[in-house]
Each structure stands twice: as structure tokens, then as C-alpha cells.
Amino acid sequence: MGNQCKGQYCDNEYRQEVSHTPLDIFNKIVKIQAIIRGFLSRRQKLILRNNKQLLMEERRILKKFGFNKLEHVLTYRILRKKNIKIIVQDTEAYVGEINSQNQPHGMGRIVYSNNSYKEGEFQNGELRKGIYYFNDVILQGQFQNNLLHGRGRTKLKDGTIYEGGFERGIRSGYGKLIDTNGNIFEGQFKNGLLNGDGEFVGKDGRYYNGEWLNGKYHGRGELLFPDGQKYVGEFENHRRHGFGQQITQHGQYIGTWKNGKQCGEGQLVFNGQQIKCINGCYK
């Protein structure tokens, strides 16, 4: 028999006599795959410059062998699964499971040249459950149309953390928010703000438990102050407004309030003395 090429397992004697362009291509692809796997595993260290350098080197190799896109040659099997694929394009790299249309489908990770990434469970090219990181913002949970939808967690660039329900990317349903100052808001959210029953725990010692409207005290509630004062009653637009009771270390006032001030009919108990107020405002 003649000098027949035995593919990727051929001996050196055949290398000298037979053209091995397919084998050379295969070896180059294996090297590229190793580079990409290392590239993807170091996602925290990704920078745009390194990504461009990687792509330039790959383009040089591909051009040498007549290919114009990495996705033409970088399909391979890993983890003994048939639908695992690595695709590297100009601005992104994907590794994971795909569907028959070569879309991310199943578990996978997309890394973008701007140092952002998506990781988790994909369905027909869209992230359904996992993590989306961009511009120092972390979104984690259930997704729909690239927006958090369902249960999720966010950490913003300023350090604000929210965990709870989402609807089309907006805080909705029961959740808990810790702002950049350490204040805690917990309760029912709507349109991104507390609406309905909720609780506030301030870093300065303030505490509120009651009804909210568009992120402000509104309705019945209880407000505690750092100095020990306590108000139980009605609120409007974040102020004491309506009927309520204010308790201090010196006494208490029971009556009506307007825009945060005692106003109208009420009764003041101060150092054991009772004072009746009728249509009078306390400045």
C-alpha cells in the first residue's frame, strides 16, 4: 500500500511525504480552543485590549487557512455533549449548549468585549435564569427579554442591593432594598417603589411600619424617632397628617395634624398637665 495519510494519528514518516493541511488546521483549532477556554475562565480579568489581541491572532490564523469567521471552525464537543459550542465574534464569545439554529440554548456563558457577561440558562438565544453583569451592575434571577422578571436580585454601581420580585425589569411585589447609606426598605413594591404595607429601618435609628404610596409614608403607620419619640396615626406624603398620637418623654399629644404639625382639635398632656387645644396650631 502507498503512503496513505492516517489523519490526526499519522506518523512522522507520512508528514514528510503527504500534505497535511487538514491536520494543520485541526492543530491550530485545538490551540485556539485552549486560548479561548482560558480567556473565558478569567472573566474577572477581561479587558478590551486583551480581547482585541486575541481576536487579531485568531483572524491571522484563520486568514492563513482561508476561513473568514471563527464560528466556521470552532464547533466542537466538550463534556461529552453533542450540542456544546464555542463561538467567538467581533464583540462577544459564547461557550455552552445550543439549539438547532446555533442559538444559546441550555447552560452557557456569553462574554462581551466591554467586560460584561451573561451566564446561566438560555432559551432560544435569550438568558432565562442566571446572572447578567454590566457596568459594575449585577442582575441575578429570572429573565424575560433581557429584563429581570420574577424573583431576582440586583446590586447597583452605588452599592444599592435589592432582592425580591420584578416585573419587566422593575421592582414589583414583595422585596427588600438596602440603599447606599445602609437604610432598609422592605415590603410591597410597585413601579420600583414601596406601595402598600412596608417597613423602613434607618441607619440613624428611625423606624417606620405602615402604609406607603410611591415610596413615601401614606396612610396608617407607626414612626419611631432616634430620641425615643413615637407617633402612631395617619400620614400623607411622608408627613404626619390627619389624626394621630405623639408620645415624648415629657408627655403626649392626641389630636389632628396638618403637614407634620399639630393643628386643630386635640389634647396635650405635658408634665402631667392636660391642655385642650381647639383650632390652635403648635409651631
Regarding whether 278 and 237 lie in a shared domain, the answer is: yes
Give every CB contact of residue 149 below 8 A, 6+ residues apart in sequence.
Answer: 142, 143, 166, 167, 168, 169
Determine what percent of the chain is predicted with pLDDT higher than 70: 64
Give every CB contact of residue 94 below 8 A, 6+ residues apart in sequence.
Answer: 85, 86, 87, 88, 104, 108, 109, 110, 111
**CA–CA distance, 20 with 16 (Å, rounded to integer):** 9
Confidence bin at 149 (pLDDT 50/70/90):
very high
For residue 246, pLDDT over 90 is answered with yes
pLDDT in tens, 256-275: 999 998 887 777 776 666 76
Higher model confidence: residue 148 or residue 3?
Answer: 148
237's grid cell:
406624603
Q: Which of 160, 178, 213 is the last residue of a domain?
A: 213
Regarding whether 249 and 208 lie in a shared domain, the answer is: no
- Quote the number of domains for the chain: 3
* Whether the predicted model's global pTM rises above the 0.75 cut: no
Q: By residue range, what is the domain housing residue 62?
A: 9-134
**Range in 78-92, 99-113, 174-188 with the lowest mean pLDDT:** 78-92
Higher model confidence: residue 115 or residue 229?
Answer: 229
Q: What is the mean pLDDT of residues 112-133?
A: 91
For residue 8, pLDDT over 50 is answered with no
DSSP 154-182: EE-TTS-EEEEEEETTEEEEEEEEE-TTS
